[in-house]
Amino acid sequence: MRELLRSGTGGGFVPPSSADFELPPVFGHNIYTTKPILLVFLSVILISVFFILASRKAAIVPSKLQFAGESVYSFVRNDLAKDVIGHDFLRFVPYLFTLFTFILVNNIFGIIPLLQFPSMSRVSFPYVLAITIYLVFHYVGIRKQGAIKYFKEIMFMPGVPKAAYILITPLEILTFFVVRPLTLALRLFANMFAGHLLLLVFILGGDHLLQGVIGLKLISPFAFGIGIVLTFFEFMVQCLQAYIFTLLAALYIAGALADEH
Amino acid sequence: MAKREESAMWSIFGYLLSGLLFWGGVGYGLDHWLGKSYFTLIGLLVGVSGAIYLVWLRFGRE
Amino acid sequence: MTGTLNLVGFGLAAIGPGIATGLIFAAYINGVARQPEARSVLQPIAFLGFALAEALALFGLVLAFVL
């Protein structure tokens, strides 16, 4: 879109900004058909189809597809849920598994050619995911320990002089109820946003250099080269962010389940 | 067990941020109310020391 | 181009804590790798050092918005 706009003007370089993330609707004027929303639907379809195919003909000697599906599942089940939550982890595995695959696929859309937009770089998707985690871990904690004991344990830490509670209790409340879910969402959002912006800077910058005088044309391959290297770097960041998001969700659930933090 | 360290790091970050936000916010409010200019700084310092005290309580007391 | 110099200042102020955090955890990893049983001794020290370094970075962040 912006390439079309820019090549006509032939003016100075327009640095990419947050306006590049506000994409127009794909079909007509319906604002519910923007690219991120379509990508989220596509990711749901892809994940469902992949895991249905992978688990449909389950056999003792797994096929390649089944092996791929099972290794993702066992990674989430053993490395994330079992290690962190401990006993009684099995009922959180479906939630964590959904979270992990959903975030992973949506992040990786950022570097797949033609799609190339990480839908998690629109802040509302991470917010909704963080809200679900917020509901789950407080619900689990209240269910397990009873409302009064749960909140008392958050607010008043044992073994602290009484006067220090004035200083500390507001911080505990703010951390538990506002800062934790907010940072959880913003970390994912900011990583995807910054990564996409970084790629835009190098690719659009290289494109702009290519339209300049001969000296600038010679520099532009370096910009594209750095863009390609950063694409691989982005792949790493995207996998890591999906992992960290799921890990922290599991840790919050574990913290709510444990009697002592 | 590097996962514990990961979570501890992010909760330290959260404590420091909420300490600065809460007590800095209180100081900012006092500044607006009383028309002074130094309460924000005092609030930020109180918030940081409270948060570091809390981190010491949670993670440093062994 | 528009913007505020506060953010440039915050960017500069974040360099120091960034390096500090790197050094703290490098030393912590070294210590645990050499002597795994020392982990419980090193962990609180590393976390307190991390908290102090991170406090400076967050101070910069807050002051960039307040000033």
Query: Which domain, by its residues, includes A68?
Result: 19-257
Which of A64, A138, A74, A103 lies closest to A237, judged by CA? A103
A175 touches chain B (CB under 8 A): yes
- What was the pLDDT predicted at B1? 59
Answer whether residue A130 shows pLDDT above 50. yes
- What was the pLDDT predicted at C1? 65
Give contacts of B5 with chain C, Cβ < 8 Å. Answer: 43
Three-class secondary structure of residue A186 per DSSP: helix
- What was the pLDDT predicted at A4? 45
Instruction: Count contacts between A and B (CB, < 8 Å).
Output: 54
Specify if A130 maps to a domain. Answer: yes
Closest to A180 (Cβ–Cβ): which among B14, B21, B46? B14
Give contacts of B17 with chain A, Cβ < 8 Å. Answer: 179, 183
Position A261 confidence tier, pLDDT thresholds 50, 70, 90: very low
Answer whether residue A5 shows pLDDT above 50. no
In chain B, the largest separation of any two C-alpha atoms, in whole Å, equals: 51
Position A236 confidence tier, pLDDT thresholds 50, 70, 90: very high
Set out the domains of chain C in order of their start, with CATH numbers: 5-66 (1.20.20.10)
Specify if A223 maps to a domain. Answer: yes
Specify if A9 maps to a domain. Answer: no
Contact A77, A97 (CB under 8 A): yes
User: What percent of chain A is helix, strand and coil (3-state, nearest 5)?
Assistant: 80, 0, 20
Q: In terms of pLDDT, which residue wins out, A151 or B12?
A: B12
Residues of chain B falling short of pLDDT 70: 1, 62
- What was the pLDDT predicted at A8? 44
Q: Where are the domains of chain B?
A: 13-60
B16 touches chain C (CB under 8 A): yes
Instruction: Return d(Cα A13, Cα A207) in angstroms, integer.
Output: 10
- Specify the number of domains making up chain A: 1
Specify if A23 maps to a domain. Answer: yes
Q: In terms of pLDDT, which residue wins out, A61 or B31?
A: B31
Answer whether residue A7 shows pLDDT above 50. no
- The interface predicted TM-score (ipTM) is 0.85
Give A159-217 pLDDT, tens digit per residue. Answer: 778 888 888 888 888 888 889 899 999 999 999 999 999 998 888 888 888 887 777 78
Answer whether residue C12 shows pLDDT above 80. yes
Q: If you count them, how many residues does chain C have?
A: 67
Contact A117, A192 (CB under 8 A): no
**Average pLDDT for residues A246-258, to the nearest whole number?**
87
